Structure 1
Amino acid sequence: MLPGNINPRQMKAMMKKLGMNVEQIEDVQSIVIKTPKGNWVFDSAEVTAMTMQGATTYQIAGTPRFEAAAIEIPKEDVTMVAAQANVSEEKAKEALIASKGDIAEAIMKLAS
C-alpha cells in the first residue's frame, strides 16, 4: 500500500531518485519453472522487472498449474525386472512406472 496520497507518477519519480527502475514486461505468453519433480507453468502471467543497485528481480503474478515430470526408467532396469519376473519388457516397464522406478516393488507386483 502506498503511503499517503502519492500518485503513481510521484512514486515512479521517487523510485528513480533512489536508483530503482521498475518496468512491466509486455505480451508474456507463458512462464515455465522447471524442477526435478515437474514444471510450474504460468499462462498469461503478468511479469514485472525491478532493477535496484545493479540487481534485477522479477515478480510473476498469475495462477500456476503443476505438470508432474515423467518418470525416466533406464533400459537396464526394464531388462532386469523382465528377467526376474519372467514377463515381457513392456509389462516390466509398466510395472516400473506404476512403482515410480522401485525395482523391488515392480518385481513383487509382477510375481504375485
Structure 2
Amino acid sequence: MFGGGGGMNPRKMKQMMEQMGIDMEDIDAQEVIIRTPDEELVFDDAEVQLMEAQGQKTYQVVGEPESRELGSGEGSAAAEGDSDESDSSSGVDEDDVELVAMRAGVDEDTAREALEANDGDLADAVDELE
C-alpha cells in the first residue's frame, strides 16, 4: 500500500496517514488484560497505540503477555460473580426485592415471586403487581 515503506521518512508516513484520515495516538497504559473463556493474558508495561480511521478505533498492543488461569488474579471474586446480596434460595437480589415490594406496595415474598417470574426484571415485576 505504501510501496514497501521500509525506507520511508516517518514524517512523510505520518503526513500520508493524515491525508487518508488515519489518526494514531500512543496510550500510556500500565496494564492490559485480555480475558478468554479459559485464561487471562496480562500485559504489564505494554505499548498501546490507538488508530482511528473512518470512525473505527483499533487498538494495537505490543508486549509479552503473562498467562493466568481465570480466577487466579486480582479481582477474581468479582469476575466469578460472588455476591453476598443475593438470596441463596432464589438468586434474586434482596435490594431488588425490597424495592419492588416498596414500589408495588406488597410484602417481600410477593415481590420475590414477581421478580422470579420476570427473570429479575424490576420494571416488569412492579408492572405485574400494580
Fold shared by both chains (TM-score > 0.5) = yes
| Offset, 1:36 | 2.1
Query: Is residue 2:25 matched to residue 1:23?
Result: yes
1:34-80 alpha-carbon deviations (Å, 9 max, x no partner): 122121100000001101111010000000011102497xxxxxxxx
With a CA cutoff of 8 Å and minimum separation of 6, indicate the structure with the bigger relative contact order: 1
**How many angstroms apart in 2 are the aligned matches of 1:40 and 1:4?**
31
SS of 2:16 mapped into structure 1? helix
Normalising by structure 1, report the TM-score: 0.56
Amino acid at match of 2:67: F
Amino acid at match of 2:69: A
Query: Is residue 2:11 matched to residue 1:9?
Result: yes
Runs of 4+ more than 6 Å apart = none
Structure 1 counterpart of 2:46: 45
Q: Percent of aligned pairs with the same residue?
A: 42
Paired residue total: 71
**How many angstroms apart in 1 are the aligned matches of 2:57 and 2:71?**
33
Normalising by structure 2, report the TM-score: 0.49
Which protein is richer in strand relative to its size?
1
Gapped regions of structure 1 (runs ≥ 5): 73-112
Amino acid at match of 1:11: M
Structure 2 counterpart of 1:64: 65
Compute the RMSD of aligned alpha carbons: 2.2
